[in-house]
Structure 1
Amino acid sequence: MLDPVVRFFERIFDAIGRFIGYIVAAILWPFVALTTWVRKRGFIIKGVFSLIIIGIVASYGYMIYQTQFWRGFNPDYATTYAFDQRTTKPGQPTPGAEGQCGPSAIVEMAADLTDFNVNQNGWVPSMLPYKLGFFGIDWKYTPYFDNKAAFQLGVHEMVRRSNFEAKERLGRVRGTSQIDQNLQNAHQNSNYNENYWYFELSPFGPKTPTPSEYRSSINNLKAFNTRLASCDALFDPRADNLLRFLDQMANALGSTSDILGDQMEASNAGWFDLRADDRFWFTYGQLYALNGIMAAARADFGDVIEERNLTAVWNKMQAELRSTLEIDPLIVSNGSESAFMMPSHLATMGFYLLRVRTNMAEMRDILDR
């Protein structure tokens, strides 16, 4: 009685197996044909082909290594700067030390976060194997190797906004003085295309790799701080500048909140949402950078924070930021918010992000009174 049913399922599974076999054969055919062609050629062609294969394997191996090992990653990195022990404000003379002034913690943090991205770690978004993707499919549409790239882009987004504020407002007096050239160059360098390799098809031609430009921004930021510490540069930590700085950071979080919301509406696939992980880690990178940048801003704007009684709200915001960095799931899930097996990590991240943004809005309102 059951034999026809069994045979039916056997035919189904046999057809599925043949179909998968055809797909695998189609994928492997160009490689098999090329290998067969090379075997029939001379020593020189075989040597060139071997070098190409070694280069491809080495480049993909380097990319995989860089995406799996995160050097310098430390959610508590902001505390290692001991900003609360600084007594000299940026650009202000150091008591008892003629010709010496305080450096900017914000500028120092921006330089160090960029160093973390491109020197302590390889800049993944511009690596050729990452740009080529998985058989032409962008890595962000696969479950593999895109988390670190998204994290690095999130960190850099906040650094870029910090550099803009330093150039436009912090490094000059009330917008009437000349823009500092070091800060101008740092801003331009940090706005360089995020995924340039040595050669690009669009626009066609050789390019300066992205990491080189970002390293130049580090040098410019450090040069500004050196001049500031020698009392040869300006830094203006006024209340209205702090207000604009908070606006810049909060606007970035607001945009990211919309991105998380759109992804939650677009998919309810739980662990099988292939875009959830890069959305999550981009947000995580933003908050990771913001944790240090806001700690630095507290040091630079310490007088304003005390005068406007912002200490309690600022402490709350810093605590919220640090709590967010504890969210580190093994597999990022974008399921229903009430799900038991596959929860929504995007909703959790979005909740913490909005709490931080709410604290920023509260501080902005106090400054704007």
Structure 2
Amino acid sequence: MVKRWLSKLNPAPLWHRVRSSWATGLSGRGYVKPILIVTSALLVVLIGLGIWWSKEPDSFDVVALAEARAEARGHEVVPGYTTVATLEHVMSTLLDKPGGYLQNDVMPPGLWLDNMPNWEMGVIIQSRDMARALRRDMSRSQSQSTEDPDLVIAEPQFHFDSSSWILPSAESEYRRGIRHLDSYLHRLNSTGNDRAQFHPRTDSLANWLGDVSTRLGSMSQRLSNSVGGRVYGVGEDQETVSETPWLEIDDIFYEARGSAWALVHLLKAVEHDFADVLSQRNATASLRQIIRELEATQRPLRSPMVLNGDGFGILANHSLVMANYLSRANAAIIDLRQLLQSN
């Protein structure tokens, strides 16, 4: 009798009975199946959004863009108008494309993506360099002249931390820079004392191309490191092997692809605004060859992933193909700079 009473106080059998009844009730009420359906549907939606958001923006006609903007505002397409309008549109595309700006996302699916955020980084780097060139050289008649007040604000705004997501967010800082670019664009057509200046000189173009060349040279080396390579230091015995980690190969590839996308449009805008300078130096054909090499980097990727074949192996190496186009463009830029700076 006592043993029977004590057995009823044993918590283990009681817990097994409670757990069994809870599982039966949950299954009987049909809670498990709806939860699984909702979770699966949510996962499918997030994957679909991730694929859509990873689609790279299309290219656009920089001259048509500038003409349409000028017509809508009653402006004239004066020298510099196409370059500034292109830079403004490149940065706006970065923020307004499907999914918006993804590099600082803290929620899925943006949190899971890495190709598009690295593509965005490439665009940002080229936009920063152009904004600096506008402030430092193109908007000033000489080194002792005053900097443009709008570009003084716009240029550092584009250098804001690209991964900041709150207080303030990168998007809000970049949009402030775009607004000041737009103000500068408007003042290019002003007839008052606040009129903005743009000087399409040979030296200002050569200085910006020097920045572009440095970026392309670095990017080509990073892409080539996908298969590893020997790097020699200053001393004869200083030799290291540099190889890109496997998980970073696609990151560098898409950063290069975004950088080339931005450069194609900026170079086309420069071709329009610096047409007289390029014509005087017989350099128009050289610039168009650079653009053609960079346009080749925007061909569709026919593989679901960035392949990293070794040398002359069976599989392709997309990083080396990209590095080839960027190296050819960089070599042409070096020749173009020499042509511009020759007497």
Given the two structures, how large is their TM-score scaled by the length of structure 2? 0.74
Aligned to 2:185: 225
Task: Determine whether 1:288 maps to 2:261.
Answer: yes
User: 1:12-59 deviations in whole A, cap 9, x for unaligned?
Assistant: xxxxxxxxxxxxxxxxxxxxxxxx9xxxxxxxxxxxxxxxxx9xx989
Aligned to 1:244: 207
Aligned to 2:218: 255
Q: How does 1:124-273 map to 2 (within 5 A)?
A: 124-129=102-107, 145-198=113-166, 207-231=167-191, 232-265=195-228, 273=246
User: Separation in 2 of the partners of 1:194 and 1:84?
Assistant: 27
**Alignment check: 8 A CA contact 1:106 1:296 kept:** yes
After superposition, the Cα gap between the structure-2 partners of 1:358 and 1:274, relative to the gap in structure 1 and judged at 3 Å, is: same
User: Separation in 1 of the partners of 2:197 and 2:244?
Assistant: 51
Deviation of 1:65 after TM superposition, in Å, equals: 2.1
User: Separation in 2 of the partners of 1:253 and 1:284?
Assistant: 11
**Alignment check: 8 A CA contact 1:158 1:290 kept:** yes
Match of 1:228, as an amino acid? L
Aligned to 1:81: 63
Task: Determine whether 1:333 maps to 2:301.
Answer: no
Aligned to 1:117: 94
Match of 2:217, as an amino acid? G
Aligned to 2:248: 275
Aligned to 1:68: 52
After superposition, the Cα gap between the structure-2 partners of 1:357 and 1:83, relative to the gap in structure 1 and judged at 3 Å, is: farther
Consecutive unaligned residues in structure 2, runs of 5 or more: 1-21, 23-37, 229-241
**Alignment check: 8 A CA contact 1:195 1:210 kept:** yes
Deviation of 1:351 after TM superposition, in Å, equals: 0.2
Deviation of 1:325 after TM superposition, in Å, equals: 1.2
Q: How does 1:31-42 map to 2 (within 5 A)?
A: none
**Alignment check: 8 A CA contact 1:71 1:120 kept:** no
Match of 2:95, as an amino acid? V
Q: What is the identity percentage for the equivalent residue pairs of Structure 1 and Structure 2? A: 23
After superposition, the Cα gap between the structure-2 partners of 1:131 and 1:368, relative to the gap in structure 1 and judged at 3 Å, is: farther
User: Separation in 2 of the partners of 1:295 and 1:82?
Assistant: 12
After superposition, the Cα gap between the structure-2 partners of 1:253 and 1:180, relative to the gap in structure 1 and judged at 3 Å, is: same
Deviation of 1:323 after TM superposition, in Å, equals: 1.7
User: 1:72-112 deviations in whole A, cap 9, x for unaligned?
Assistant: 7114x2x35348989x9xxxx96xxxxx9555222111110
Residue of 255, 267, 277 corresponding to 1:304: 277
**Alignment check: 8 A CA contact 1:333 1:344 kept:** yes
Q: Deviation above 6 Å: which 4+ runs of structure 1?
A: 57-64, 83-86
Deviation of 1:262 after TM superposition, in Å, equals: 2.8
**Alignment check: 8 A CA contact 2:47 2:109 kept:** no
User: Separation in 2 of the partners of 1:251 and 1:60?
Assistant: 42
SS of the equivalent of 1:124 reads coil
**Alignment check: 8 A CA contact 2:80 2:200 kept:** no
User: Separation in 2 of the partners of 1:281 and 1:84?
Assistant: 28
User: 1:114-144 deviations in whole A, cap 9, x for unaligned?
Assistant: 10011234111111137996xxxxx6xxxxx
**Alignment check: 8 A CA contact 2:104 2:164 kept:** yes
Q: Which has the larger radius of gyration?
A: 2
**Alignment check: 8 A CA contact 2:62 2:269 kept:** no
